[in-house]
Amino acid sequence: MMNDAQLLDDDARIAALRRLDVLDSAVEKPFEKIVTLVRTILAVPIATVTLVDRDRQWFKAQRGLDVQETPRSVSFCTHTIQQRDPLIIEDAHLDPRFADSPLVMGPPYIRSYAGIPLRTPEGYNVGSLCAMDTRSRRFSPADIAILSNFANIVCDELELRMIAQVDHLTGALTRRGFVEQAEREIARSRRSDRPTTLVMLDVDHFKSVNDTHGHVIGDQVLHQIAKIAGATLRPIDVFGRIGGEEFAILLPETGADEAMLVAERMRRAIADHPMRLPAGDRIHVTASFGVAALTPAVSTVTAWLERADTMLYAAKSAGRNCTRLADPA
């Protein structure tokens, strides 16, 4: 079935994987339970939820391995994602594709393999659910059916995970999703020694908007602010709804001074943008902003958010509709 265009379009497949926002994420119980069940029910020493990135395969969950990822070039799963049907290898020593693989010749000494493609709703294979043994074996139709059912559950969990990270009203990341991104951004910035800055914003007098016009109008205001953010920010920037009328923005590769310019541009865009109401009326709202660059003193996302939040409330105290920057010292 290699005539399937989606199986040949690796760039689109990688984009689908990126949308799931799961690579390099923390341990999560649903996936851990699945690999434990696969290993127990199929009586195999190794089971993994594998996601195939451009140059590596990364294990969202694993049993029987002591590594988090391996090069894609030596992986079984890169072959699995190139087809719609399960990939079954009864004896890797007899298969020319794998006989010389370092994963076969050396640890973990894979001899037999069964992999079910993990397919997104758009039809892209982003990885596979794998059962592996260190001896040759035949996987029965019942084994494959069990593994396929578990693969469907993995796909459902990946979708639920993504939905849980996106705020349905604004399309921004939820607090949970934003915190995960911020944790990765701290690690990336530390590794590369590159700047990154956090911005927090809060809609001014939002309670009076709700009290005067109703919560439906309040929701529309939040939705339109998210649209302004989408038009103002770069594709690499991360926008999240932290709670209520409070939002946060991650600005990778951005120092404090440049982040101030971004925050001010967005503040003016909100202040200058009349919020259209269903009946044709319009209201104007403003927002206050707090900006905090990542510094060596900031070790956690919580501490980083607190620094930006302190500046946000300094902006509120200064009269609202303004921006305040944390002292880098």
> Which tens digit of pLDDT belongs to each residue from 129-140?
999 999 999 999
> Beta strand 196-203 with 69-71: parallel, antiparallel or unpaired?
unpaired
How does DSSP classify residue 173?
B
**113 and 99 Cβ atoms separated by less than 8 Å:** no
Query: Hey, what are 81's tokens?
Result: 């994602």
Model confidence over 171-228: pLDDT tens digits?
Answer: 999 998 999 899 989 999 999 999 999 999 999 999 999 998 888 889 999 999 999 9
**20 and 158 Cβ atoms separated by less than 8 Å:** yes
**55 and 117 Cβ atoms separated by less than 8 Å:** no
What's residue 1's pLDDT? Answer: 40
CA dist 240 → 121, 196, 321, 323, 328 (Å): 24, 16, 20, 18, 23
Residue ranges of the chain with per-residue pLDDT less than 50: 1-3
Q: Which residues of 68-94 are buried (b: 16+ CB within 10 A; e: fewer)?
A: ebbebeebbbbbbbbeeebbbbebbee
What's residue 2's pLDDT? Answer: 40
The neighbour count for residue 191, using CB atoms within 10 Å, is 8
